[in-house]
Amino acid sequence: MALGTSGLLATGCQVKDSGRNVVAGKQAFVAKCGSCHVLNRAGTKGVIGPNLDEAFRQARQDGFGSDTFAGIVHKQILYPSKSGTRDPATGRSEGIMRANLVEGKLARDVAEYVARVAGTGGKDTGALANAVPQPAGQGKTARADGGELAIPADPSGQLAYQFGAATSGPGALTISSENEASVPHNIALEGSGVDEKGAVVQGGAVSKISVDVQAGEYTFYCSVPGHREGGMLGKLTVK
């Protein structure tokens, strides 16, 4: 029998049992699923798919266990809901999870991790606490140089850039955002009459826009549905 959530919290380091590796499960969940789902223990804030803490909280209070939840999550990974609408800008189906987004043993690891932590509150401990580096961008400022400004996406796939703010002088400005993750992102800018969106990219490609900016404040963000709402944005100050 898989170790229950209470056991995981008590030991803080028991991350493997019955062939399940919840550290790998957490890493894959953040990289592949977190852009669409809220899961507080994983630090993910996606809003397109169901809030997993809310989805399982009542059932957990009613006495259902992690084994049951793991089966539900694994089945959803294999056979996701087909309802949703396609976004013409990205070609993605908003609200639809691609079948086999994670596969094989890793899919079961993801299901096990979600089953153990969804709706439990608190924070991951032990090896799980350090399984995925938290985005550090909110405390960092990117600075334009020679009319070029680089604001890369967080490589883990989380809804964050590697900078939470940026500065530039006025005039012509090219903003680029490399995205090493498999989760698609782009760079967009709005404010003071500017409204530009770069191409949606993934896997090491670069999204880029060229704008003319005047003194003032602008918002840079990812325009993929749900990403800005999940916190993937920052402030550009031009002075």
Do 137-238 and 5-129 have the same topology in CATH? no
pLDDT at 69: 93
Distance from C-alpha of 53 to C-alpha of 118, rounded to nearest angstrom: 5
**Confidence at 65, pLDDT banded by 50, 70, 90:** confident
CATH T-level topology, domain 5-129: Cytochrome Bc1 Complex; Chain D, domain 2 (1.10.760)
Domain ranges of the chain: 5-129, 137-238
- pLDDT exceeds cutoff 60 at 74: yes
DSSP-assigned letter for residue 23? H
61: Cβ contacts below 8 Å, ≥ 6 apart: none
Mean pLDDT for all residues in the chain: 86
Q: pLDDT grade, residue 2 (50/70/90)?
A: very low
Structure tokens at 51: 């809030």
Q: Is 0.85 topped by the overall pTM?
A: no
> If one looks up domain 137-238 in CATH, what number appears?
2.60.40.420
Q: Is the pLDDT of residue 86 over 70?
A: no
141 vs 75: CA distance, rounded Å: 42
Q: What is the pLDDT of residues 106-150, one digit of tens each?
A: 999 999 999 999 999 899 999 999 998 877 677 899 999 999 999
pLDDT score of 99 more than 80? no
State the pLDDT at residue 18: 53
| pLDDT band (50, 70, 90) for residue 96 | low
One-letter amino acid of 52: L
State the Cα–Cα distance between residues 149 and 206, nearest whole angstrom: 13
- CA proximity to 160, closest of 176, 183, 144: 183
